[in-house]
Amino acid sequence: MSATPADIAGERPAPEPRGAASARASEAAPAIELSGISKRFGREMVLRELRLEMAAGRVAVLKGSNGAGKTTLLRLLATRLRPTRGRARVFGYDLQRQGDEVRRRVALVSVLGGNYPVLTARENLKLAATLSGLAGYDLGAALAGVGLEPVADTLVRTFSSGMKKRLGLARLLLLDPPLWLMDEPYAALDEAGKNLLDDVLAAARSRGRTVLMASHELERSARFADAVLELAGGSLRRSES
Amino acid sequence: MSAAPRGPQAAGPPDGSAATDLAAVLAIARKDLLQEARSRAVTVATLFFSAVTLVMMAFAMGQDAELLRRSAPGVLWVALAFAGVITAAQSFQSDLEEGAFDQLLLYPVPRASVFLGKLLANWLYLAVLGLIMTPVTLVLYGAHAGSDLWLLPVTLVLGTFGFAVVATFYAALTANLQAREALLPVLMFPVVVPVLLGAVRSSEALVGLQNAALAGGWLQLLAGFDLVYFVTCTAIFHLVVEE
């Protein structure tokens, strides 16, 4: 199947490069650049020759039916999956050859949450901050930002799905990388949580963060989006809906 | 709960520098040990298994004091080896529950640091278990270490290190497989044989034969295999965690 270019390049300013070492590749490079990316699991080709150029500072929603490959694409961009074919860059850094550089600029909010159940919310965030090389962080502020400060020292295994989702959001706010990848961010959240996420996305957009989120809540998520992309049959195209 | 966002990160965005490798290793090891201290999942299983092994083998060998004394090193390492398999498997299992291992691999730290962090936690746990089990085994089996007793902890440290290296590596390799509980020992035991051989022979030389020179030779072999496995597994760990 041939590739369908989905160019959502725009005029939003690029996010500030994070550190001198990053400046060369980050400068003026698209946030996401896919050139003929394919991913195969066994005999099944999940992604086929994807092409996409997404400018820094843009927000895009990724829609598609279950199994369309949305999560696969997000995990691939987060360097958790290797493409079978093709080339992908994030802020100019090659996903396969410069994985550490890519990971410094990307965070993924996954469906599963990615939290350690036997650690407290605060310990989970502290681990994230340490492994990301943050200094001078304020865990209390990050937890308060998602309404989890009262349970900051409670083990995550006692949390509801929505609270775990909020903790994932707190980690994203704490790390605050230039590229946010979000897999069904509205799932499991109550109405207050969804409103909170709306505010976070609006703030991210206004600060020039690049966001690519897979969501079935199109009506809600599309309010913040510069483009809606659709994954179907392993191919990517810009959606008119 | 407050629904009002405080906005991304009051402390400002990260400066792009990754955690130092050592800080990452220590943070991951501390996390694993803290999880175990709270859940005690491995502690209960390994202590129970080790105690059953030591007692059952002692009963099976009967009243023959010489046989008991000579078999003490082997029984000790059998118990430690199986406890090591449980430890390594569980260290990845608890991470897989809510996608936490996936998240761990998304941080900007070298894959080798992830391996070394997991390894450090598994090794510390196994070494402490070995140091607890050794005097129990010596008493239960009526064995003595002679004047070169200090070489026994050295054997334990080197033996558990080599074992932990191989077990941690293969536990990562099989973590996402359905038959991981069966596959882990099947895959790793043929590889870890030189480590176990060196550890058992060195322990035997110290406990049974009371021959420090012989033990020293086995310890050199053990250290050599430890080094080879450590370098190899650290270098290729990234291949087993990337899909």
pLDDT in tens, A213-237: 999 888 888 888 889 999 988 888 8
Residue A241 confidence class, pLDDT cut points 50, 70, 90? low
Token representation of residue B54: 């030591």
- Beta pairing, strands A44-54 & A227-232: unpaired
* Disruptive mutation site among A131, A171, A180 for chain B (greatest number of B CBs within 10 Å): A131
Window 37-76 of B, Cβ < 8 Å to A: 38-39
% of chain A at pLDDT higher than 70: 88
Q: Which residues contact A7 (CB under 8 A, 6 or more apart)?
A: A52, A53, A238
Distance CA A123, CA B71 (A): 45
Query: What local confidence, expressed as pLDDT, does residue A234 receive?
Result: 85
Window 49-78 of A, Cβ < 8 Å to B: 75, 78
Residue B36 confidence class, pLDDT cut points 50, 70, 90? very high
Distance CA B134, CA B158 (A): 14
Give the lowest-confidence range in A52-56, B7-11, B113-117, B122-126.
B7-11
Chain B residues whose beta carbon lies within 8 Å of the beta carbon of residue A131: 19, 24, 27-28, 104, 107-109
Residue A112 DSSP class? S
CB of B98 less than 8 A from some CB of A: yes
CB of B239 less than 8 A from some CB of A: no
Alpha-carbon distance values, A87 to A62, A92, B82, B154 (Å): 20, 11, 44, 50
Does the pLDDT at position A4 exceed 70?
no
Put simply, the answer to whether B14 touches A18 (Cβ < 8 Å) is: yes
Query: What local confidence, expressed as pLDDT, does residue A90 receive?
Result: 95
Give the mean pLDDT of B160-179: 92
Put simply, the answer to whether A173 touches B1 (Cβ < 8 Å) is: no
Contact B100, B91 (CB under 8 A): no
Does the pLDDT at position A26 exceed 80?
no
Residue B175 DSSP class? T
Put simply, the answer to whether B23 touches A196 (Cβ < 8 Å) is: no
Give the lowest-confidence range in A17-21, A112-116, B148-152.
A17-21
Does the pLDDT at position A12 exceed 60?
no
* B146: closest CA of chain A, how far (Å): 44
Residue B75 confidence class, pLDDT cut points 50, 70, 90? very high
Cβ atoms within 10 Å, residue A32: 25
Query: What local confidence, expressed as pLDDT, does residue B136 receive?
Result: 92
Query: What local confidence, expressed as pLDDT, does residue A10 receive?
Result: 33
* B118: closest CA of chain A, how far (Å): 14
Window 107-166 of B, Cβ < 8 Å to A: 107-110
Chain B residues whose beta carbon lies within 8 Å of the beta carbon of residue A195: 3
Q: Which residues contact B179 (CB under 8 A, 6 or more apart)?
A: none
Nearest CA in chain B to A135: B14
Residue A169 confidence class, pLDDT cut points 50, 70, 90? very high
Residue A15 confidence class, pLDDT cut points 50, 70, 90? very low
Does the pLDDT at position B236 exceed 80?
yes
Does the pLDDT at position B6 exceed 60?
no
* A27: closest CA of chain B, how far (Å): 14
% of chain B at pLDDT higher than 70: 92
Does the pLDDT at position B66 exceed 70?
yes
Distance CA B125, CA B148 (A): 25
Does the pLDDT at position B123 exceed 90?
yes
Residue A27 confidence class, pLDDT cut points 50, 70, 90? low
Q: Where are the beta strands (DSSP E) in chain A?
A: 6-7, 32-41, 44-54, 59-63, 85-90, 93-94, 106-109, 179-183, 210-214, 227-232, 235-238
Chain A residues whose beta carbon lies within 8 Å of the beta carbon of residue B31: 116, 119, 123, 127
Give the mean pLDDT of A85-111: 93
Cβ atoms within 10 Å, residue B149: 12
Give the lowest-confidence range in A3-17, B197-211, B215-229.
A3-17
